[in-house]
Every structure is written in structure tokens, then in C-alpha cells.
A and B are shown apart, each in its own frame.
Chain A
């Protein structure tokens, strides 16, 4: 066992505030009366609905078919009746076609749900197919279809798989609890991924602020060949894919490249868990652990919720607000998305629902840049955020591009540390959008 603590250059140490939920066992939330299941919960092409209004559906039944390779199907997370198929507000802020299902409280299982056999009897293609058919997409937030990651082009020789248990976002503890409570399934998921890729080396990487998770995972991996638990320094963004790969393997994903370019595939612990469920029980991705947290929630919890559960129901289940809420965020405070309403569903990539009190979210006075260089010191990509931001705010996106705007991973360390409270990552994000839009136009 390695006792070395691995990390990367740069980064920040925000207040983690994980003690709100890190000792609370995952609680199963009662199934809501109605779920709203968007037909697009992943990066890639949206699904075509397979059901009509008025149809009876069963738990785990496929209700949306993937269109194209970079896409995954969606399944009903309850049994009941389809009430509507219409555009509904999605956590991304857009209206997306969604299937609204009235729950009959019977949880009648779909016939297709049965164990898929043991790993030894499954081939690499079987595993990839099970994963795709189970609708599994990256559960760390970006929701990239997992089977696509597991099918690298033949010229990219993948030799390492890393299960990301860093959970570096402040407040969030869903991955932490999953590692403490379901380590066996996560190791099973990792083994399935290794088999699907025909790779021997697997790492489970965890920040040292989760000693109970490290202990549980080490116990579960004891005796497993080629699988190792590694300790990471507690620093944000340690769980960023590129920073994680650098810390664990010493390899740098090339600018504009993918992890497969350096022979690595990274999957979140939640994804590994879902893969285990899909193989062991045949259950597609119809539920996930969501951390409901923040100083403005009465009883913060780690909840196991059905996909499509409304944020409103989750907050109500957690006792409602505590004081005056200022911001509602899906995901963590560093990279999550601020929402304007509770009338949105939890989807496959929803790792947390964070509610910050209004006194923590008051906009601060923005002052001119003093070139203090703190942003340069903390940038994990070695960029110069102050200059990219300056050019972006002056609409000079060509120069912003020369300063490597597109290499920004949008972790937000620069904006976090800035003593002048400047919108650094915000304006860099804008520059990236403009640069990519221009490229598309030229193409």
C-alpha cells in the first residue's frame, strides 16, 4: 500500500464544509408522486421517446432510445403512467423534452431487469453493451456517456484506469458516502471497466480528508490484483481529470487532448457503482446519491433519489430552508450551476444540491486588477488568468486565444483567490465560447 500523498501544482484550499453531511449515511428518499425525466441527461445526442402519453411504464423500462454512438438511453425511475412528453426546464437552464410519469407506488420491475451473470462469463463487448443499455453516463457532473470512454480509438493504447474518489468540490459528500457504504460494488465496477478495456492497472484515488473512505476501499481491494488505492492531497481541483491523472500517473494530458491520449480512462466512483448495479442486478441508472447541503438547508442529507425527482421535493424532505436562501446550486460551489427555481429534476449528473444563505452570496465590490499574480500562482493549468480575462473583457478574443484560453478547465481557482473579486473565470468562459463559435463559423 502506498502511503505517498500525490498532488499537482497550483490549486486552492477553500472551506470544505463537508462536516455538514460527511458522517450521515445515505438515506433513501421516498419515491415522489411524479418524476420528470429529461430525454437528454448526458453529453451528446438527446434520446427519442419510446413511450406515448397514457402508456403504462415499469421501473427500469427504457423510455428513451439513444440516437447515435455518443448517447445513452433513459429509463423510467418509477412504475406508473406517462402523463406528458413535453419540454421542461432542465438543470442546464434550457427547456428539454422530458417524460413526465405519475408514480403508482408499486415499483413494478420491468421484465428486462435481471442479473447479467458474473464478470468471468462476460466479454469486453458484453460489458460495454450492458453499460450503454443501462444508460450510464459519467456521474461526476459532466455526464459523458461511459461506454464511449470505454471504446477508445485503436491507436490509443489505454493501460490505466483511475476511479475518481477525490471529491474535491467543497460541501459534496455523495462519493465519500458511496465509498464508505458500498466499497465492494465500486471495486466490482472498476474490475468491469478493466475487463472492458482489457487493462491490468486500476487505481482508486481518494483525498486524504476522507480516511474512512480510504480504509473502506483498502479493505475492499485487499487481495485484488492490479487494483490499488492511492491517497491524494486535499486540494481543489484535485479531482479535475487532468490534475488527477498528473497526480496519479505523472502524465500530462496534452493541450486539447483527452485522457486516452496518455493511456488513461477516468471514471467517477458513482459511475463504477452504477456499473456494478447494472451487471449484478441488471438495474439501469434510475437513481443516484445526491448531497443536499448548505448552511441554508434545515437538515442536510445524503439522499438516494430516483432520477427525475424535483429539487423542491428533495428540499422539502430535508426540512426546507434554514434562514434566507441566497443561491440554489446544482453541483458544488466551485463549478456548480446556479438555478433560479426549485422546479427542476435531479438528473444523472446531479451530484449535489447546495443552498447557500443570502449573507454568503452577496456580490462583492469588484475592484481594478492590481496584477497581484495570485491567479497565476493558483491556476492548475499554468495559465495567466488576469491577461486572458482582460482581453476577453475588451472583446479581443484572438489575443485571449493566444494566451491559451481554450486550455482553461473552468475550475474557478482564479476567481476564488482574486483579492479584487474580479470575474476571471467568468470572462474566460466567455472567451472560450466566442473562440469556439468563431471556429465553428470558419469550419
Chain B
């Protein structure tokens, strides 16, 4: 019975939970939205997504090879980033736009700050902001679903805002729920996104604290501050339009850039909701989801510091200096 036993500190066994499995779950959860995007906007949407994912994975791989770092593309996080970048561009953009976006997301936002877990803002959203600032026309030309080439249309939020030419009609709510409307590749179908979100909740990859507080805040704000007086706002259009569902479930919940404390997560959601509503209602852009998340990403460390949970057996919450 002479054996070599492994000696480590306890605990001696660990859960099946693995980060690569979590990221794979996110990829799986994004697939219904990808299918919806492909149905509404054609094969081009799928192609752009594939280009985006390839660019993201390749960028991470090349950087790690060049810097002699451990190759981490097997954790699927670059795949998720690539998908989200593609989901955030209109289906009409040139093929190289999502490629440049993914390169920016991985090279600048993720790898420059130390790779997975160390980025201080959501890479895909930073890429969207970068693309929007650099190629504003391409990034705001929306297509009528099913007629990608040439015919431009308005997003429901732009119609609400009144920035589009007169005569544009708001689609009905069912059409918006299904997603047969103008928008970016992955954001239009609330139905498909919610199927994915339900899967993530079932797999315990995310919890409801951020998405619910985010969506409820936007709903309440846009209802109160309606165009025709208080408490008249078309809040369902605001919830189903734009990138709110995508942002609330898939991007505001990004692990490294959202708070770790339960209260902090609720604050993150409410903050995102307030900023989104302010931008949508009174700002220059019809859509504010991505900027609101980016802004809240930056105060995440601060939120964590001030929302430390009450430690068992202590009376009050102590602030960590």
C-alpha cells in the first residue's frame, strides 16, 4: 500500500462549473438571435457574424503568440465577443466593419488591459462606440428586413424620436417582439433573445438582478416621461425597441465589467436604465443602451467598493477605504 497521495489544501473537490462551459453557454444562448437575424436580414447577417467571430479569435491568438502568452482562445470568450460585435452592427455594413470592430474589441479593450477578466469596459460595446464614431453613416443605415440591398428604413426608436422623415409608421408590438424591424443584426428579436436569456438563467450563468432592474427602470422612465404628458409614454416600444433586451441580458451582465455584490448589481441595472432613458428621451441619439452600459462599466469598481455586503455577525456595512 505504498502510494503517492496528492496533498493540497481543502476543498478536495470542485463543482463542474467551468469558465469555458459558461462562455459556451453564452454562445449557445446567442444562437436563437443569430437565427432570427439571418431570417430577417438574410445570409449576409450570418456571414458578417462569422467574419466577426473569426477576426476576434484570430486577433486574440496572434497577440498571444506574439507576446509569448498562454493561448486562451479555448475559453470561448473571444467567440462571444465576436458574436456580440456582429450583433451590434447593422446588416448593411461592409464586410470589414465587424472585422475591424472585433480587432479593436480584442486587441485594444481586452488584451491591452491584461486579457480575460481584466477589461474595464465591455469589449463589444467599446467596439460599437468606436465603429459608430469612425463610420457613422455605415453604422446608422438601417435596412428593411428582407430587403437588405439599398432600401433604407428607420428603426422604431428613431421614429419615436421623430428624427426620421415624416410618414414613417411604427410597427405593431407583435412585429417588434418577433423582431421583424429595422435594427442591428442581433438586437431586433426580443423573442429570440429571451429564449437565449432563459437558457442562461436556467444554466445559472446570469441572474436577474441586472437585466430586470435595467428593463424595469427603462420601462418606468419612458412611461412617466411620455411625449404627450406624464405617464403616457409608449414604454413597451422602448423595451422592445433598440438594443435593450440584448444589452440587459447579454452585455450589462458581462462578468468583469459589472459589480460582484448583489446590491451593486441592482444599482448597475438601475443606473443603466436611467442613462438609457435620459439618452433616448432627451439626448441626441435615438438609442442609449450601449453608452449607458459603457458608462456604468466605468463606475463598477466604485459600486463594488460602496456596496460591500454586510458581513455575517457585524452590525453595519463597513466601507472599505
Contacts and interface: CB of A to CB of B under 8 A. Distances in A.
Contacts of B3: 321, 325, 328, 342
A372 B261 contact: no
Contacts of A68: none
The prevalent SS among residues of B at the interface is loop
A8 to B, nearest CB: 9
Contacts of B262: 376-377
A363 interface: yes
Given A312-B1, A340-B5, A380-B312, A333 B12 contact: yes
Nearest to B12: A333
Contacts of B260: 371, 373, 376, 384, 386
Given A321-B1, A336-B10, A386-B260, A407 B17 contact: no
Sort chain A's interface into a size bin: 35 or more
A404 B5 contact: no
Interface string A355-379: 0101011011001111111101100
Interface string A312-354: 1001100011000111110001111111111000000000001
A339 B5 contact: yes
Interface stretch (A132-140, A186-194, A223-231, A253-261): A253-261
B111 to A, nearest CB: 12
Contact of A315 (B1, B18, B22): B1
B116 interface: yes
Given A368-B117, A373-B260, A407 B311 contact: yes
Given A242-B312, A377-B262, A333 B5 contact: no
A334 B11 contact: yes
A384 B10 contact: no
Contact of B312 (A342, A364, A381): A381
B115 interface: yes
Interface string B297-321: 0000000100011111110001011
A342 B3 CA distance: 9
A426 B14 CA distance: 13
B63 to A, nearest CB: 15
B310 A382 contact: yes
A404 B319 CA distance: 11
B134 interface: no
Contacts of B7: 327, 338-340
A416 B115 contact: no
B252 to A, nearest CB: 13
Interface centre among B304, B312, B318 (most CB of A within 10 A): B312
B5 A253 contact: no
B133 interface: no
Contacts of A372: 19, 22, 255
Contact of B6 (A333, A361, A383): A361
A337 to B, nearest CB: 7
Contacts of A373: 255, 259-261, 265
Interface string B1-33: 101011111111111011101100000000000
A254 B17 contact: no
Contacts of A418: 14-15, 17
A252 B312 contact: yes
Contacts of A49: none
B309 A416 contact: no
A255 B11 contact: no
B275 to A, nearest CB: 21
A407 B312 contact: yes
B94 interface: no
Contacts of A367: 19, 72, 75, 116
Contacts of A377: 207, 262
B234 interface: no
B163 interface: no
A383 B311 CA distance: 6
B15 A417 contact: yes
A429 B9 CA distance: 9
A390 B78 CA distance: 24
A440 interface: no
A152 interface: no
Given A384-B260, A416-B13, 4 more contacts: A374-B17, A417-B15, A419-B21, A423-B9
12 contacts: A252-B312, A255-B312, A327-B8, A336-B12, A342-B3, A356-B13, A373-B255, A373-B261, A382-B310, A384-B304, A415-B11, A420-B19
The 6 A-B pairs at the shortest CB distance, nearest first, are namely A412-B11, A373-B260, A255-B313, A426-B9, A370-B117, A368-B117
Interface of B: 1, 3, 5-15, 17-19, 21-22, 72, 75, 114-118, 207, 255-256, 258-262, 265, 304, 308-314, 318, 320-321
